[in-house]
Structure 1
Amino acid sequence: MNTDESSLGRCPECGDQIPETWLLVEYEKDDGTQGIWAECPECDDVVAPEQ
């Protein structure tokens, strides 16, 4: 993996790091925190990355 890329977190399905370039949606949750959806380049699923 290219170490110059920032990570959004890990995929909850396969555990691989998800690069920022795979971000799909940013949104505000009901509790006021930020949520994100991204596509995992390894397993091709749309997931909420885990920190």
Structure 2
Amino acid sequence: MNADESSLGRCPDCGEQIPEAWLLIEYETDESETEIWAECPTCEDVVAPE
């Protein structure tokens, strides 16, 4: 990953960093919290980064 590329967090399946470019959806819950889903470029699963 590039040093100037931000990370969304780690994949809960394989542990790799997920770059912001792999973000699929960002939404606000009923409790006014922001949740995200992204595709992991390593294992190619759709996950909620940790």
TM over 0.5: yes
2:31 alignment partner, SS class: coil
Equivalence for 2:49: 49
For this pair of structures, how many residues does the alignment match? 50
Q: TM-score, normalised by structure 2?
A: 0.93
How far apart, CA to CA, are the structure 1 residues paired with 2:47 and 2:4? 22
Is 1:7 the equivalent of 2:2?
Answer: no
Q: TM-score, normalised by structure 1?
A: 0.92
2:24 alignment partner, SS class: strand
Deviation at 1:21, TM superposition (A): 0.2
Question: How many percent identity over aligned positions?
Answer: 74
How far apart, CA to CA, are the structure 1 residues paired with 2:29 and 2:13? 22
Ranges in structure 2 where 5+ consecutive residues have no aligned partner: none
- Which consecutive aligned stretches of 4+ in structure 1 deviate over 4 angstroms post-superposition? none
